[in-house]
Structure 1
Amino acid sequence: MTAVEWDEVKRLAADFQRAQLSSTVQRLSERNCVEIITKLLDLKLLDVVFTTDGKEYVTPQQLSREIRDELYVHGGRINLVELAKLLNVDLSQISARAAEIERTDSSCSVILGQLIDKNYINHIAEEINEKLQQQGQVTIGDLTRHYDLPSDFLQSQFIIEKQLGKTIHGKQDKSDPQIFFTEAYVARNLASVRGALTAALKPIPISTLLGQFEFLVQTIVDKLMEMKQVPGVVTGKQQGGSNMYIPAIYSKSQNDWVNNFYKQNGYLEYDALTRLGISDAQTFASVEEAITTGSMVDIMPLLPSLFEPEDAEEILSDVLKNVKNKFPSHNVHVFCNSMLLTDQFLQKLSEPFSAVIQKKAEEIVSSGAYLLAQAENKLQNNKTTVEQEETNTKVDRREERRKKATGGKGGGGTQGRETKTKSTKKKYQRGKTTAGDSDEDVPSGGGKTAKSAANKLEVIQIEEIKDMLSVNKQFQDEDLIELIPEVANYLYPSLNKSGLAAAQVIFESTMASTVQNRRKTHSELQDKLNTMIMNVRLFEKGLKHFNDKELQQQLVKYLLKSLCSEITNEIFGYVAQENMIQIEQNKEMTPEVRVKVMNEAPNECKEPLLKLHKSLNSNSLDEFLTCVESALGPGVCDMILRKADKKKERTTILAHRQALLEQLAGADDPALVLHLTSLILFQAATQTMLHASGRFVSNILTYLHSHLTAEVFNSLQKYHDMVLKLLTMSSDDEKRPGLVRELREGMSAIKEIASNFKKVTSTEKTQQSAE
């Protein structure tokens, strides 16, 4: 190897060693980073928010921290649009994070697209308090314009009303909740208004004061009137702005002029009164006008402003003395001290209640409340009668003893009579009252109790009368609202009495209809029960064809459980209805329900019903029929149990066969078809009816073996075996569809046997067997 080549080898070895000792640095391109982040986002392993230029990402948590930082920097209030520009994030993302901050942090709120924290709210409260102390009053309107925030947010949610009495030292105006003031401000205005009202010599509209003092005038005026610091009164309606302050000196001058003029001249002219300032002088004749027109009048606005309601009542009572002489046939009533209402007006108020009372009367009758009240009233009257009889008995005994005592030991003589009289008097003076007084008190007390029991039922309540009067156009004026309770209390007795009278008419009509329906129901139920009992007797004849006593007993149990139980339930249901025992009519009557009916039934019904109830478990149809006859008899159901009728029995047997054939024609279930066929064949062979369930089909076919041809019997037996196999086969058995198809194919033949069967005599059967 030449020197040149060797140098090349050394150089390569050095490069190789340098390469081995050097560390590898791997760097990802921007595109690779974008792809990785995109993949992580697709796999939902990373949650980031894009900036508006799409070059940067930020996590939601970091975005929330940055929003809070900006909120702090801006003093606790920042617009979300401005926040989106500062953070270079879409507005929707900023809004979502702001909403999340508001949800998780109770000290932050989003108001009109602005994020506001508690520190800013406290700062606003302090500023409002400073402004309030400087100006004396602030309004929500001014604060809304100044802070650019909603009025409800400033007033009620977070700031003023919440901080009132704490950070903000002031009070809220009761007449205008959007005005807040200090006590010093009220004192200054109160002094100014008091001076203006005290110096007034003629009526001043309150609206004029509003123009002078701007705020709190009505509150100040009400306070001054309450404290009686101004000589005058306020009349008119505050809401309409028509209220006026009338100085006492003005009212006095009017009264003095009117009285002096009337004394000197003996008359008054309406024109003169109008010039004096009394523009409604003619309305002072409103009492007579209200009586003649059958309306109402409130005399309080017609009287001088210094008069109180008690004064109005006294004046009205004096006026009515003269009016009653002038209008003797007109009745009037005074409510609320100053309001006069005529009978005609009250009658008009009562007219809208007619339909309501009629409807409520129907409701209390249909609900049974009226009947219950009548029963309680009758019970109370009976109790009172018993108490009176006991009292009268005691009185008679006392009278006897008194007469004997008066007669003396020997039956005569003045000395003996005087002695007994003295001792008797001392004896009776030891009680609280004399015997005569006690006797007089007892009957009156009983009468009151009975009357109160009769008046317990309310057709209409006072609150309902108030509600209806409040929507009456006659009471839409706010000044008449206080009249509603008194009128309602006055109308209540007559309206309730009318309702009770209407309820009595409805009840009597309902009872007449009920009696007619009960008679019809009684007759229908009697026929139904007689038919069912006749069926039981016919079914009993049918089951006696079986020689097996155990089988007969099973058929008897089934008959008692089914048809006999239905008869029992009909009887118990009728007793419950007649004696108003509450049971659920639409549900099956269980033994527990029957026991309830027995317990609540009258005493004369309990024993027959109990025996009938127990006979269902006696396994004896004779005992059941005996108990049925007793339960249907007098004192319980008052029904007649008819004797057996051969003609009706034959008709019933034919009708039963026809019903079975019709049911068979519409049946498509193999088991039901075989069941109906066996019953029809049994009736055709024995000329008797049989009541049996499907579990007795094999026993019926065994009995019919001697009455059927071999071919018919084999067909029925084969079909019976296939039905049993189907009933014991599971639903997912592979052979089931084929067996079902075979049964349906043979169903028409089985129905044909039932429809065309004729009883085969022993001779015919022998001939068929020989052939």
Structure 2
Amino acid sequence: MTAVEWDEVKRLAADFQRAQLTSTVQRLSERNCIEIVTKLLDLKLLEVVFTTDGKEYVTPQQLTREIRDELYVHGGRINLVDLVKLLSVDLNQISARAAEIERTDQNCSLVLGQLIDKTYVSRIAEEVNERLLQQGQVTISDLTRQYDLPSDFLQTVVEKQLGKTIHGKQDKTDPQVFFTESYVARNQACVRGALAAALRPISVATLLSQCGVEERLFYSIIGNLMETKQVAGVITGKQQSGSSMYIPSIYSRSQNEWVNSFYKQNGYLEYDALVRLGIQDHQLFVRRHFPNEKLLLLPTCALGPQVLDQVEAAVEEAVATGSMVNIMPLLPSFFEPEDAKEILTEVLKNSKNKYTSQNVHVFCSTVVLTEQFIQKLTKPFDAIIQKKAEEVVSSGAYLLAQAESKVQNNRGLAEQDESSTKSDRREERRKKATGGKGGGGTQGRETKTKSTKKKYLRGKAAAGDDSDEETASSGKTSKSSVNKLELLSFAEIKGVLTADELLQEEGDDLAELIVEIANHIHPLLNMSGLVAAEVIFESTMATTAQNRRKTHSELQDKLNAMFTNVRLFEKGIKQFSDKNVEQPLAKYLIKTLCTEMTNEIFSYVAQENMIQYDEAKELSPEVRMKILNDLPNESKEPLLKLHKSLNTNSVEEVLNCVEGALGPGICDMILRKPDKKKERSQLLTHRQALLEQLTSSEDPALVLHLASLVLFQAVTQTMLHASGRFVSNILTYLQSHLTAEIFKTMQQYHDLVLKLLTSGADDDHRSHIVNALQEGMLAIKEIATSFKKHSSTEKSQQQSE
């Protein structure tokens, strides 16, 4: 404010004063006064508070004085809402002035909309002290209900006045409880007397009802009594749960003395006896009372090592003598079979390392039989089993069981093929939906070639799409079907065991034991009988059909598989437009797989017509001609055409001759029609076989050979049967289908393989070539296994460019 303005204010104040001192004629009107006050308020030279009726002004200082006066009149506590009615001032103004009073005056507090001064707080403290003297204790919750004030405020008031106005103590366990010394001493004397009079366990609830002490204070008192050793005993159970028990020390001592004496005399502790002593949690008591004893906790008792040693000694004696032992007579009379079972399990577990070479069996939960004893029991069955095996073979029952197993096997394979067909259809629909195309992939099964082709073609009796898993499963089905044939019935085994002298020596009541032993040896004896029957049956079959190697259906399946393979390999050969490559590949296919298929046909025809030849050696052209000369005239012409077709370069001509040789009157076999799905499965199987052989191979030449075949199939989606000398031709064909980097890697590896094959054994440069081949082998395998991934990535890069 400038000096001019301040001078003007002084003049106005002087004029105002003169106006007040003048006579009535010169007095200001109410309107002029309002304007003057309004002007002063606008200039912020005056601060007033309007009343709620709007007719009066009050300054903040005056409002504060009036609030203090009202606080004094109301005894040091007044609600701000009541001040609104008394002073006719807005609640916001009163709240603001009350907050200012609380800030400037330490003796005043603003609590939940109430203004409280020191005098009221002192009166509260005096009243609390009087209540303490009357009742012995007070709680903050009771004070809160009485004074209608927050518990934290009252807690602070009582704690500040404790030891001054309020003569008492605060509970250590519950800070909201306050009591006097005399109250605690009176209750403590009552509790001490009750505990001193107790000679046996008593519940805390009973003590509380007799002493009339609060549960919270009781636990505090008994804790102090135990710390000062004024009472001898312990509290068990959870506090504040109503299930706590007080156990006097004299009772615990007598209880422990009885438990120690009983265990020392008997070596065990019965749970029922502990319950009668008042011990409810018996297992916990046993663990705590005997921390260093290796006790076995059973359902009905706790067993010490003394009894376990007796049982273990009896079991070891039975194992050493190859006999049996029942442990129930070794145990006290109250033991149950469930207890004996756990004891026996523990003994066998602890004694396992002592006789690992001996096998023991437990029957009826309490009887231990050694394997040697069981063999003695099964020895009388040897003659019976042999006789039963001969009867079941001579009667034809064993052959009938085998026939049924074969029918079940064929049914299982048909269901498996149907399932596979459905799976292929779903896969085909899925690929069509996603826009994919069929072809060779890494998830299929493929036929092995080269060094593994004979193993594949001769080792398998089924078609090329039959897997090892199918053969294993069929064998398992057959075996399980034959196992259903029962040579010895359960009643027969039970009858023989009942009359056995070894078991009669052990006692009279052995009916249940005999039943369990019979159940145990029943499948073993039947399995032995089936083995004996199989030996007899195979001996019989060997004498009647010694020279017959294969059945008609097996050979038909095998030839169908070989025929399909050759036809698929022919498609791969036709990928080469160069006759100089195509013809040698066709000739190699005829020389290997076609010749093998022809030999299978000639072998079958020779067996059917009883033509003798050396079966240990592979059929040569001379042997085939000898077989042809001994055949009937109606069979000669188709087989002669087949024999001569092996000297041509046309795979198609060989296949036509094979089809004629398998016709009626010669082999009486049917060639299956081409199946696209099976051909695709064959492609996948062949690729998978190549990849498996490639992964396990460490020969550089073979790795290059297999990688070339895999790449060729991935590019053309056809199989190729070629020897290692065709690798260079295959790489030439693949050059236009591979990236420059991949082809360069393959060609460099091919050149290194040629150098290795042409280098001498003592050549110093040979070791460098071998190292280079070993280093590059992983890259070749990676190219073959992930060719599709690389090709698709390269293609996408070219499109982006």
Q: Does the TM-score normalized on the shorter chain lie above 0.5?
A: no
Rg (Cα) greater in structure: 2
Tell which has more relative contact order, 1 or 2 (C-alpha 8 A, sep 6+): 2
TM-score (norm 1): 0.33
TM-score (norm 2): 0.32
